[in-house]
Structure 1
Amino acid sequence: MAVSKFRLSHWYQAAQNASLDQKMMVVGLAITLTFVAIALFAPLFEAIGLLQDPTTFLDNQTQQPPSWQHWFGTDRLGHDVFSRTLYGSQVALQVVILATFLSMGTGVPLGLISGYLGGRLDKILLFFMDTIYTLPGLLLSITLAFVVGKGVFNAAIALSISYIPQYYRVVRNQTVSVKTELFVEAAQAMGASRWTVLSRYLLLNVIQSVPVLFTLNAADAILVLGGLGFLGLGLPAEVPEWGHDLRQALPALPTGVWWTNLFPGFAMTLMVVGLSMLGEGLNRLFGEPS
């Protein structure tokens, strides 16, 4: 018992001494990991009977309020809102992770090469990236969604384009600063190849801001994905996606059917808050991206 009390007091004292940034990161990480766990285990919950198929139409059970049988109620088509809300986290993570990795995998190498080589290539890339950066992200995603069509991969492409300039600008600016350091000049004087300088001496010194951008862009991408779904773009109608479900629920809201709006909207908001808190905590820990 004494050991247990000691451990509890130790953890309590550590929590009291933790800074606001650390607490923000922990809370944001906990929320994010909760949604990741829901996304991973949703098929298992369905297999053991805790969840219903989110695409199944329940006969004579449309717009039923929350109950023991349907915890979040049903929508106007007879879908179980609880199942669609949980599966919505899976769809959101699939699209958002794919979109952020696509933008990161494009923007980081371009920024690294542009900042290191400079010259005409740097000017051309900087012009194109600044042009994309000035366009509103949601408007650009809507336009691209019309062009590429619906689907998980297509939605990820539509989201990723607007985030590439952010990775490019941060990595490029830090590369321009770091490449003049003595250890980089020493490596070049000793005959290190460009690839060695880029991968061993520059990349590891400019990559620290990327996790911050990744989490903040992921939070923004969830909102943009929800906006595309609300407009009827991005993903097919049968896919459980929070923005699409909010669009379908909107006409029923004046009639008192509140649950079809509340739960998908709350899930989207909570996930965005969790990722934003995690990103802001990392931002304050590692410093503001340049």
Structure 2
Amino acid sequence: MTFSKLSLPSWLNLLVRPSISSQLMLFGLIITVVFILLAIFCPLLTAWGLIPDPTDLLSNNPLEPPESRHWFGTNVRGYDVFARTLYGSQAALEVVLLATTLSLIIGVPLGLISGYLSGRVDKILLFLMDTIYTLPGLLLSVTLAFVLGRGILNVAIAVSISYIPQYYRVVRNHTTSVKTELFVEAAQAMGATPTRVLSRYLFFNVIQSVPVLFTLNAADAILILGGLGFLGLGLPEEVPEWGHDLKEAMPDLSIGIWWTTLFPGLALTLMVTGLSLLGEGLSEIFNPRLHKK
């Protein structure tokens, strides 16, 4: 008697026979979870006295090297680099969640409506999204941040504008192909309204790639936030943010002060790497055929 090989789901197959990509995804997941936990529990650790106040500069001497009191040293203003590096994950997480959520809330419904209705609505939305998509994302974010001003919400809006066309295009293309399926035509024949068709029959069938896009956009949003902070267009100066701290630390390199740039830059690199590895792993799970090709 012979038994045929059982076909396992892609995510279970990765757990049973882990590949290099799945191991890298796990590594990225660990990095991402660590930064999320830091962002959540930093205020509690400060209340317990385990982390110094990141806004306190009167109690410290400027440019102290790393030692027992200041593990990562202090910067030119006297801020504790260790505290500001950890609290930088909080600012990054807030902006990233706001930016990606705003772009998802706007881009997904527009993609559904455009792909389902087609016609003139589809042409207008497609032209508008293609126009936004052709503009460099960083340049568009810099322009909006300059107009809107500093602040978490303003920066999130400036960052999110370049991601809306990505969600729109992915969802629209899937909607265009799925709306011709028999179950959609059957629902329409039974008198289902367009709103019901979109929400019940199409939505969950066209968002398979959205989690992957969400994760990759989160990594890109951190880089854009760092760029805005480096240009002085990000968050207020008193808010710990890696890009702004790197901007203030750049002159220190010429006099041999390395710790003020190393640790914020390392934190920025690690968080982007973790989210990128997680996104690539999710892409392999949701789109296994693409990776096989």
Q: TM-score, normalised by structure 2?
A: 0.92
Give the alignment of 1:181-200 within 5 angstroms. 181-200=181-200
- Structure 1 gaps, min length 5: 1-13
Cα deviation for residue 61 of structure 1 reads 1.1
Percent pairwise identity: 69
156-165 or 233-242, larger mean C-alpha shift: 233-242
* CA–CA separation in structure 2 for the residues paired with 1:43 and 1:167: 34
Give the alignment of 1:93-172 within 5 angstroms. 93-172=93-172
From the superposition, tell whether residues 50 and 60 of structure 1 become closer, same or farther in structure 2 (CA, over 3 Å).
Answer: closer
Cα deviation for residue 133 of structure 1 reads 0.3
Q: Which runs of structure 1 show a deviation greater than 4 angstroms over 4 or more consecutive aligned residues? A: none
Cα deviation for residue 127 of structure 1 reads 0.2
- Structure 2 gaps, min length 5: 1-13
Give the aligned partner of residue 179 of structure 2: 179
Give the aligned partner of residue 242 of structure 2: 242
Give the alignment of 1:55-70 within 5 angstroms. 55-59=55-59, 61-70=61-70
The number of residue pairs the alignment matches comes to 276
Cα deviation for residue 145 of structure 1 reads 0.4
Give the aligned partner of residue 272 of structure 2: 272
1:213 and 2:216 correspond = no
The residue matched to 1:68 in structure 2 has which SS? coil
CA contact (8 A) 1:108 1:168 kept: yes
* 2:255 maps to amino acid: T
The residue matched to 2:162 in structure 1 has which SS? helix
CA contact (8 A) 2:60 2:74 kept: no
* CA–CA separation in structure 2 for the residues paired with 1:146 and 1:256: 33
14-23 or 226-235, larger mean C-alpha shift: 14-23
| 1:251-279 Cα shifts (integer Å, max 9, x gaps) | 01111110000000000000000000000
Cα deviation for residue 23 of structure 1 reads 1.5
Cα deviation for residue 32 of structure 1 reads 0.4
Give the aligned partner of residue 7 of structure 1: none
CA contact (8 A) 1:21 1:285 kept: no
What RMSD, in angstroms, separates the aligned Cα atoms of the two structures?
1.4
CA contact (8 A) 1:64 1:74 kept: yes
* CA–CA separation in structure 2 for the residues paired with 1:77 and 1:227: 21
Give the aligned partner of residue 24 of structure 2: 24
From the superposition, tell whether residues 192 and 92 of structure 1 become closer, same or farther in structure 2 (CA, over 3 Å).
Answer: same
The residue matched to 1:162 in structure 2 has which SS? coil
More helix by share: 1
* 2:41 maps to amino acid: F
Q: TM-score, normalised by structure 1?
A: 0.93
* CA–CA separation in structure 2 for the residues paired with 1:60 and 1:209: 48
CA contact (8 A) 1:29 1:278 kept: yes
| 1:45-78 Cα shifts (integer Å, max 9, x gaps) | 1000011111111446110111110001000000
* CA–CA separation in structure 1 for the residues paired with 2:126 and 2:260: 45
